[in-house]
């Protein structure tokens, strides 16, 4: 097939002759791409950043980084590479904010597209009955929030951390404490502009190019590069009552969480986390919270117990101050937390949504942000969550001082079901996120090796087929594992790959398909 492609290239390329060696042809290809003109620019220096990500464990250096200034920059480089056919092995990865965990936004010796350079279109707001904003997919969610607030609006569904790009989270799902009500972020976009793996630019939505729309949402960057998104908005509240309460019994905790996500008349945000064997716990988890009853709270002792912390929030505007406390009391009265452990805080809506950034600043100061992050994210069906909790918390996971362990249910009935996102079959399932940080060069419990061993034990436990557990932000090394991940959806997923990126040029760092050569 190399010969056929060489002939194909000869006919397209004035400098290529049929007798040239593959090596010479590759050099000609590289130099011809290097000579292409862009509205932005292609860079060969200072590109080490493109071999890094938040996970800080995989480092694949690309050949070049494209800093696009227009959609046609992206489409022309992909089209050029696509038209080279099988003669070239070049791959292309969109890089959002590079907050992947396992090299998913990297392209070894390929081209990385630095999506944050793409600043078109400027954010443009539509403030009708169904408000939305058109944004560049390289935009950070924190910027979308600040601009939307100028119009009294805000997106409906979030991630816990906002310094991520729109295209990066839409390629996964974007799940946080609002997802039980609105679905993940992929549910809350009306339209996308996409450059496919053939270099074609397409607009897609529920009405237009529907299959492409569903393919790229949760599509792990496999079918196209999202260049623009139309994000659904709602009127923004000003303030948030932020509440935490503890449980020692998992079933009671889970029942309360499920009760809260089953009702439309509930809190605006429902999450939770697990605390195993953490000393100094009370000072830690409630640091910026006030106890509802300080005397009782001081009597609560936690040492040695596994605790489950419910975290909820209610949005409000100052003029609603009178009845919001009443509403919260009613909602809390239906729950079974340990009464002395109710803690509250009042913060602005922005501070609430941007809460993880505060931790980021602290960790950066201590040099603990740019460390390895061996994270593990799981989606666990409701019917398996008790078995999972019994088998993992306190057994495989004997302390949680390496980072937060989030756990909260979502209700799939309000989620779009034709996207590429893989979730458990059941309507209610839990997101369980082990968000560990590894201390550099430690060989102890807080070191990378120990955490990875623990993750493997958890994954082995999850491998019991009857549990029906799926990875979120999935990572596998073989196609067999990917096929198992997708299950009956593999046929559609791989069929879409053939349609939109038949040479497997895009997002090689996901390691799902191999570049055709």
Q: Write the interaction track for ligand FAD spanning residues 493-512; mark x where CB under 6 A is met and - where it is not.
A: --------------x-xx--
Residues 175-204 that bind ligand FAD (CB under 6 A): 175-176
Q: Which two tokens mark 366?
A: 């201590």
Is 197:82 a contact under the CB 8 Å cutoff?
Answer: yes
Q: Is residue 360 within a helix (H) or strand (E), and if so which, with residue range? A: helix 355-365
Residue 240 C-beta-side C-alpha neighbours within 13 Å? 21
Measured from the CB of residue 373, what is the shortest distance to ligand FAD in angstroms?
Answer: 7
Region from 160-168, 296-304, 328-336, 447-455 binding ligand FAD, contact rule CB under 6 A = 160-168
Using CB under 6 A as the binding rule, whether residue 105 contacts ligand FAD is answered as yes
Q: In the chain, count of helices (H) and strands (E)? A: 17, 19
Task: Give the phi and the psi of residue 2 in degrees, each rounded to 5.
Answer: -60, -40
The distance of closest approach from Cβ of residue 431 to ligand FAD in the complex, given in angstroms and rounded to an integer, is 8
Of the pair 71, 164, the CB lying nearest ligand FAD is at 164
E strands, 61-161, in order? 64-67, 92-95, 111-114, 124-126, 132-136, 153-155
- Among 93, 186, 297, 379, interactor with ligand FAD by CB under 6 A: 93
Of 194, 200, 202, 188, residue with least CA distance to 219 = 194
**How many angstroms from the chain centroid is the CA of residue 296?**
39
* From 56-64, 167-175, 278-286, 485-493, span contacting ligand FAD (CB under 6 A): 167-175
Beta bridge partners of 112: 65, 93
Q: Is 409 in the site for ligand FAD (CB under 6 A)?
A: no
Please state, as a whole number, how many other Cβ atoms lie within 10 Å of the Cβ of residue 252.
15
Supply φ then ψ for residue 87, to 5 degrees: -70, -25
Between 55 and 381, CB nearer to ligand FAD = 55
By rule CB under 6 A, what count of residues binds ligand FAD? Answer: 37
Span between the terminal Cα atoms of the chain, in Å: 8
SS3 150: coil
Contact range with ligand FAD by CB under 6 A, out of 75-83, 159-167, 324-332, 456-464: 159-167
Residues 437 and 445 sit within 8 Å (Cβ to Cβ):
no
**What residue has token string 């992929």?**
186
Name the one range near ligand FAD by CB under 6 A: 58-66, 221-229, 264-272, 418-426.
221-229
Contact status: 272 vs ligand FAD (CB under 6 A) = no
Contact segment (CB under 6 A) with ligand FAD among 72-80, 172-180, 202-210, 345-353 equals 172-180
Are 38 and 73 in contact by the 8 Å Cβ rule? The answer is yes
Nearer to ligand FAD, 81 or 342 (CB): 81
Q: Which is nearer to ligand FAD, 364 or 464 (CB)?
A: 364
The one among 60, 63, 82, 161 contacting ligand FAD by CB under 6 A: 161
Assign 205 to helix, strand or coil. strand
Residue 172 beta carbon to ligand FAD: minimum distance, rounded to whole angstroms = 5
- Stretch binding ligand FAD (CB under 6 A), from 5-13, 174-182, 302-310, 320-328: 174-182
Residue closer to ligand FAD by CB (options 174, 424) is: 174
Active site residue 99: yes
137 closest CA partner among 120, 152, 124, 162: 120
For ligand FAD, the binding residue among 94, 243, 313, 328 (CB under 6 A) is: 94
| 4-8: long-range pairs with CB below 8 Å, 24+ | 5/84, 5/85, 5/86, 5/87, 6/87, 8/85, 8/87
Residue 301: partners with Cβ closer than 8 Å, 6 or more residues away: none
CB 72 within 8 A of CB 81: no
What lies within 8 Å, CB to CB, of 322 at 6+ separation is: none
Q: Which of 91, 171, 187, 402 binds ligand FAD (CB under 6 A)?
A: 171
- Closest contact distance (angstroms) between CB of 168 and ligand FAD is 2
Rank residues 94 and 270 by Cβ distance to ligand FAD and give the closer one: 94
Among this protein's residues, is 160 annotated catalytic?
yes
Q: Which of 39, 134, 160, 427 is catalytic?
A: 160
Which residue, 6 or 99, has its beta carbon nearer to ligand FAD? 99
| Least distance (Å) between residue 167 CB and ligand FAD | 2
Q: Which of residues 238-267 bind ligand FAD (CB under 6 A)?
A: none
C-alpha closest to that of 136 among 102, 101, 168:
168
CB of 375 to ligand FAD, least distance (A): 8
Structure tokens at 278: 């953490």
Contact mark string toward ligand FAD, 43..82, x via CB under 6 A: ----------xx----------------------------
Please pick, from the candidates 33, 215, 226, 332, the single residue that binds ligand FAD as defined by CB under 6 A.
Answer: 226
State the catalytic residue, choosing from 67, 97, 99, 475.
99
Give min distance, CB of 415 to ligand FAD, in A.
13
The CA distances from residue 38 to 41, 74, 136, 288, 402, in Å, are 6, 9, 18, 49, 45
> Please, are residues 173 and 417 in contact by the beta-carbon 8 Å criterion?
no
Q: Does residue number 169 form part of the binding site for ligand FAD (CB under 6 A)?
A: yes
Positive/negative CA dihedral, 234, 410, 405, 268: positive
Q: How far is the CB of 509 from ligand FAD (least distance, A)?
A: 6
| Residues annotated catalytic, as ranges | 99, 160, 271
Residues in touch with ligand FAD (CB under 6 A): 53-54, 93-100, 104-105, 115, 137, 159-161, 164-165, 167-169, 171-176, 220-221, 225-226, 356, 473, 507, 509-510
């Amino acid at each position: 097939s190399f010969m056929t492609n060489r002939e194909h290239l000869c006919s397209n390329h004035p400098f290529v002759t049929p007798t040239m060696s593959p090596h010479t042809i590759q050099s000609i290809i590289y130099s011809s791409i290097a000579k292409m003109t862009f509205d932005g620019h292609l860079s060969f220096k200072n590109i080490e950043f493109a071999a890094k990500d938040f996970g800080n464990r995989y480092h694949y250096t690309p050949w070049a980084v494209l800093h696009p200034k227009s959609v046609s920059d992206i489409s022309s480089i992909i089209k050029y590479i696509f038209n080279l056919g099988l003669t070239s092995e070049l791959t292309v990865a969109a890089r959002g904010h590079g907050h992947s965990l396992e090299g998913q936004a990297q392209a070894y010796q390929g081209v990385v597209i630095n999506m944050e350079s793409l600043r078109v279109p400027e954010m443009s707001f539509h403030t009708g009955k169904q408000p939305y904003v058109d944004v560049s997919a390289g935009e950070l969610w924190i910027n979308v929030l600040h601009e939307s607030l100028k119009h009294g609006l805000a997106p409906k569904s979030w991630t816990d951390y906002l310094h991520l790009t729109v295209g990066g989270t839409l390629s996964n799902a974007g799940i946080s404490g609002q997802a039980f009500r609105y679905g993940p972020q992929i549910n809350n976009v009306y339209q996308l502009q996409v450059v496919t793996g053939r270099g074609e630019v397409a607009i897609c939505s529920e009405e237009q190019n529907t299959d492409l729309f569903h393919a790229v949402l949760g599509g792990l960057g496999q079918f196209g590069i999202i260049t623009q998104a139309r994000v659904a908005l709602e009127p923004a509240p000003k303030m948030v009552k932020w509440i935490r309460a503890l449980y020692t019994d998992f079933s009671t905790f889970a029942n309360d969480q499920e009760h809260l996500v089953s009702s439309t008349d509930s809190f605006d945000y429902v999450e939770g986390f697990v605390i195993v064997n953490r000393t100094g716990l009370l000072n830690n988890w409630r640091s910026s919270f006030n106890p509802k009853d300080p005397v009782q709270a001081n009597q609560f002792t936690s040492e040695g117990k596994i605790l489950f912390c419910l975290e909820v929030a209610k949005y409000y505007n100052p003029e609603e101050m009178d009845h919001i406390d009443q509403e919260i009391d009613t909602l809390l009265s239906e729950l079974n937390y340990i009464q002395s452990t109710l803690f509250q805080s009042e913060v602005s809506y922005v501070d609430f949504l941007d809460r993880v950034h505060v931790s980021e600043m602290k960790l950066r100061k201590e040099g603990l942000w740019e460390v390895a992050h061996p994270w593990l994210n799981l989606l666990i069906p409701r019917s398996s969550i008790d078995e999972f909790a019994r088998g993992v918390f306190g057994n495989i996971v004997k302390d949680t001082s390496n980072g937060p362990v989030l756990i909260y249910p979502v209700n799939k009935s309000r989620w779009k079901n034709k996207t590429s996102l893989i979730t458990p079959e059941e309507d209610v399932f839990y997101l369980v996120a082990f968000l560990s940080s590894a201390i550099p060069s430690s060989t102890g419990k807080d070191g990378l090796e120990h955490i990875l061993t623990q993750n493997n034990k958890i994954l082995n436990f999850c491998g019991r087929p009857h549990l029906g557990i799926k990875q979120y932000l999935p990572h596998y090394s073989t196609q067999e594992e990917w096929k198992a991940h997708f299950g009956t959806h593999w046929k559609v997923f791989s069929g879409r790959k053939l349609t939109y990126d038949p040479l497997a040029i895009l997002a090689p760092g996901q390691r799902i398909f191999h570049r055709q050569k």
